[in-house]
Amino acid sequence: MIKINPIICTFLILFGGCKNATESRGSQEQNTNIMVANKFIDAFYSFNKDSLSAILSEANESRPGILFYQKWAECGNYAVLNRGDIIIKNDTLVVCPVTVRDDLIQALQLDMHVTDSFHLGIIDGYIKSVETSSNDPELFHEARTWVRESLAELVEQPCNRNKEGGPTPCECVKATVQGFVEFIATKEIN
């Protein structure tokens, strides 16, 4: 007959219980973060400023830039083609890749679609920060630089972040699209 020390047995039960509670809490956190991330993507691509602003209520520093980007995306005719799987980086960071069709890439006459990724800092079920990244092609960056240098008067006012009242995202993206069309026209001529 095997004798089990009651102190060791109690320790093993408590340790095992703590481990399971920790795993369960981590799983709950991940599920909450995924739910919050999906709500964010839904709000962003609904193009409803109030809906997005509400989900960003705790992201004070990120809110103005993301609200600008939402209006830019709406006026640039961003259409969701694919919502990629949400990537859980750690307990507080998730990445949401979304592939879109938009006027900017079409103006560059490229046969591709861009994937924008939203990096959400989520704490206790609230988005605290949002950063974005994209796989924009080199031609996009080249065109944007060319427009700023060669057609500064076209984009200067609508895209000026320092003017009173801030930039106007619709006018900015439309001017940028127009500039991209002119950029491609100059490349075809040369």
Model pLDDT for residues 136-186, shown as the tens digit of each residue: 999 999 999 999 999 999 998 888 776 666 678 999 999 999 999 999 999
Q: What is the pTM of this model?
A: 0.82
Query: How many structural domains does the chain have?
Result: 1
- Whether 1 is covered by a domain: the verdict is no
Q: Does residue 115 contact residue 86 with C-beta atoms inside 8 Å? A: no
Question: Is residue 123 situated within a structural domain?
Answer: yes
Residue 157 resides in a domain: yes
Inter-residue contact 43 to 52 (CB < 8 Å):
yes
Give me the domain span that covers residue 129.
6-189
Amino acid identity of 60?
N
Identify the residue whose tokens are 């809906």.
Answer: 51
The CATH number of the domain where 44 resides is what?
3.10.450.50
Least confident segment among 22-26, 82-86, 179-183: 22-26
- Residue 95 CB contacts under 8 Å (≥ 6 apart), including other chains: 86, 87, 89, 117, 118, 119, 120
Q: What percent of the chain has pLDDT over 90?
A: 75
